[in-house]
Each structure stands twice: as structure tokens, then as C-alpha cells.
Amino acid sequence: MKLQRLMAVARKEFIHVWRDWRSLVLAVAIPMLLIALFGYALTMDLKHVPTAVWDQSKTAESRQLLSLFNGSAYFAIERHIDGYRELTDLIDAGRVMVALVIPSDFAECIRAGRPVTVQAIVDGADANNATLTVGYINAMGQIYNRDVRILPVRRLPASGGIRLEPRAWYNPEMESRNVIIPGIIALVMVVIAAMLTSVTVAREWETGTMEQLISTPIRVPELVLGKVAPYFVIGLLDVAIAVVMGRWFFDVPLRGNTGLLFLSASIFLTGALFLGLLLSIVLKNQVLANQIALFTGYLPTLLLSGFVFGIYNMPKAIQAITFIVPARYFITLLRGIFLKGIGLEILWLNAALLTIYAVIMVLLCHRKMKLKL
């Protein structure tokens, strides 16, 4: 393999990318768009839940209870109603998700020290959000019971019992964007690789320029590496954009080694680029190769890598499939570097498996690439 011929192919590919300004703009704009969209729109946090209140007591005690809900970041009291009919209409229309019903004898029971029940009706059409909301309501009840002593729960003796103090390491504010933004880097790289490299060799066959390349003394490694080189540079540029946006726009902490981050990204990017190139070599059709690259790269990364959905919640059969999804290991590396600040002394297995994936893709491309008609 001669470096001169490899550089000639890379230069040719760079010129093509530079002339196709629309693809170049998309290669930079898509990462920024995806990061902004996922960073702002996709969130696991449930805040400002629209809440309606039917306060039949209308006393200082009931207002004190409502102030706890309205003063939290999780609930927003938007409507005061006067009956179950209006309550049902609001929940059916999706205007509120929670309705609190305070009984008329609420204040009397509080003053007398008797148990009293406050009804909390939750829209269960969205099971995940409903589960979170019920947890928030229970938390509000515990806080109110502890501080104001008005909810009917069994009280422990003053000298006994336990006090739990939960703490979330690495993400103490429990911000979902701190988990999502690192995962977006993997998603961005898969999309860029599928969009760019999956059409390179197929384009040569469709335009008839492959015959000219075959007639030259170029060898397979020089052609394959030269084809990938420009897109590798673009991919690393996209990683840098994602890191900067995550750090400065979304305040995602980067506690680990930046060099290790880019090394891991380089390994994953190599595998993703050569996967797209492999499809381009085998299929020899730009549209088909691009579509299959997106299907085999984007969907597994989104659904089976642990980016959005926890792998431990999946059925055992699906969990087994996730072991062949390279983004699973890359996202583990990203979150470990971003949030935990750990290195290869802990993440070495994920890095090793990612390297094996990249090597397999490179070898398959070299094996399938034939410089003959």
C-alpha cells in the first residue's frame, strides 16, 4: 500500500464532498439539529404537570395543602373546578393530567387530629407519565405529613424508626438531558456515517467512474481507506460540535478525559463508516444502500442501545440481541466518561468489544471490495 495513492483517493473524495455543498451542510447541520431537538424536546423529566383542583373545604388548611403542590416544580394548578362532571371533561380532553379532590370536612378533621383522605385522580392513558406522577403525589404527601402533620399515615415512635436520605451520584439533579446528550453523539455518528459513506462506492458504479479507478494501479486498501478518510474527519468534527453544544448549551458535565472520549468516538466512527461503505460495496445502489444503512444503524442505536429505553427493562430475548448492537458499548463509554469521569480501567471491556466491531467491518470491506468488472 502506497500512501501517495491513498492520499490521491482521499483528495478526490474531499473535492467531491466540497463540491456537493448540500451534503456538506447537512453533515454539519444534522448533528446540530438532532442535538437541539433531542436536548430540548426529549426528556424523561416530568415537570409542571397540569393540575385541576376541586376544593370543597376552601379553608386555610386546604389552601396550605394546595400551596405545597403549586409551589413544587412538578405540579401546576391551572383550573379550580366545582364538580366531577367538569373534572371528567378536563381529563378526557387532555387539558389536565391530575385532579385533586379535597373533601368538605378536611379542615375539621385536621383540627381534630382525625384521618382524612384527599383524592388524587391521575390520567393513566400514558402509563409512564402516570407512574411518575403518582410517585410525585406520594412524595408530596410524605413531605406534608412530615412537616405539617395532616396526612393519615402511621406515625413511628419518636425514638424509633429509620430515616432514608437518598442521593443520586453523578447526576444529583436527576436531569434527563445529562443522560440523553451523550447518547445523541452515538446517534449523530450513525446517521452521518449512513448518509455519507453508504453512497460512495455505489455512486462510482452508477456514474461509470469505477471502471476508471479499476484501470489505475490502485489497490483495495488504498481505495477503501481513501474513500473513508474525508468522512472520518467530518465525523470527528460532528463529535466536537456535539460535545461543545452539550457542554455549553445544555450544561452537561464532562468529568472524564477528553482524549479518551475522542478515541472512543474514533473507534465507533470507524466501524459505522465501514458498515456504510460495506453496504455501498455490496449493493451498488445509492438509494438502497442509504436506506438499509439508516435502518441497520439508526433504529438499533435508538431502540436497542440503552439510549432511550433501559436494557434491563426489555424481555430477555431482546436483551440478548442488544449485545450485537455496537452503540450499546459506545453509549456506556460516553456516559462513563461524561458523567462518572472513569477511564479504561473500568470501561476496557466496552472499548475492546467496540474495537473488535470496527476491525470486523474494516476486514469485511477489504474482502468484499473487488477491483474488477
In three-state form (DSSP H/G/I as H, E/B as E, the rest C), the secondary structure along 252-266 is: CCCCCCHHHHHHHHH
Which cell goes with 63? 389552601
**CA 355, 357, 361, 363 torsion-angle sign:** positive
Q: Please tell me the distance from the alpha carbon of residue 247 to that of residue 360, in angstroms, as a whole number.
A: 33
Domain ranges of the chain: 3-42+175-368, 49-147
Q: Please tell me the distance from the alpha carbon of residue 168 to that of residue 291, in angstroms, as a whole number.
A: 41
Angle (CA) 258 226 356, round 5° = 55
Q: Is 208 left (phi over 0), alpha (psi -120 to 50) or beta?
A: left
Check: CB of residue 52 under 8 Å from CB of residue 98.
Answer: yes
Q: If DSSP codes are grouped into helix, strand and coil, which group holds residue 35? A: helix
User: Taking the CA of residue 339 as centre, how many other CA atoms within 13 Å lie in the half-sphere pointing to its CB?
Assistant: 22
For cell 456537493, name the residue.
20
The predicted structure's pLDDT at residue 151 = 42
Which cell goes with 127? 402509563
The stretches in the chain having pLDDT less than 50 are: 150-162
The predicted structure's pLDDT at residue 248 = 87
Which cell goes with 218? 490502485
The predicted structure's pLDDT at residue 211 = 67
DSSP single-letter state for residue 308: S
For 229, phi then psi, to 5°, come to: -50, -50
The predicted structure's pLDDT at residue 321 = 93
Q: For the CA atoms of the chain, what is the radius of gyration? A: 28
In the chain, the amino acid numbered 263 is L
For 175, phi then psi, to 5°, come to: -80, 120
The predicted structure's pLDDT at residue 159 = 41
The predicted structure's pLDDT at residue 147 = 63
Q: Which CATH class is domain 49-147?
A: alpha beta
For 247, phi then psi, to 5°, come to: -75, -45
The predicted structure's pLDDT at residue 230 = 85
Q: Please tell me the distance from the alpha carbon of residue 28 to that of residue 259, in angstroms, as a whole number.
A: 22
The predicted structure's pLDDT at residue 155 = 41
For cell 453544544, name the residue.
245
Q: If DSSP codes are grouped into helix, strand and coil, which group holds residue 33? A: helix
The predicted structure's pLDDT at residue 149 = 53
Q: Please tell me the distance from the alpha carbon of residue 289 to that of residue 368, in angstroms, as a whole number.
A: 15
Q: Which stretches within the chain are classed as H helix? A: 3-19, 21-41, 60-71, 84-92, 106-112, 127-147, 177-196, 200-207, 210-214, 220-248, 258-283, 286-303, 316-321, 326-335, 344-368
